[in-house]
Amino acid sequence: MPRIPSPAIAAAGLVGGYAVARWTKKRPLGGVVLAAAGGVAAKEWQRVGGAKVAGGLTAAYVAAFAGSHPLAKKIGAWPAVFSVAAGMAGAAYVVTRNADV
């Protein structure tokens, strides 16, 4: 079975977490989606790059989530979420592109 690339998992976690929180009106449920995708991505980052890569990209994932909130006040919620998701996917791709993904 082919693996889903970790950049896609991270981006989907950010977008999916927000979408679930917004459409269900249950922020904790969105947090579950965000955390689950982050956990899956972190496990993949650990596999391909070790603890330092996993730690750095996990910190970037959390920072992307946190950064989307003030960014949303400037450009709107969905544009902010898509922007941080794209940035996170890009960072994960650059860091893991030479790994056996």
Task: Report pLDDT for 2.
Answer: 62
In this prediction, residue 101 has a pLDDT band, given cuts at 50, 70 and 90, of: very low
The number of angstroms, rounded, from the C-alpha of 73 to the middle of its chain's C-alpha atoms is 20
Q: Are 67 and 32 in contact (CB under 8 A)?
A: no
DSSP type of residue 99: S
Question: Distance between CA 32 and CA 19 in Å, rounded?
Answer: 12
And the tokens for 46? 């650990």
Q: What's the pLDDT score for residue 59?
A: 98
Flag the least confident range among 17-31, 43-57, 86-100: 86-100
66 burial level (CB within 10 Å; 0-12, 13-18, 19+): exposed
User: What are the pLDDT digits (tens) for 1-31?
Assistant: 568 899 999 999 999 999 999 999 999 999 9
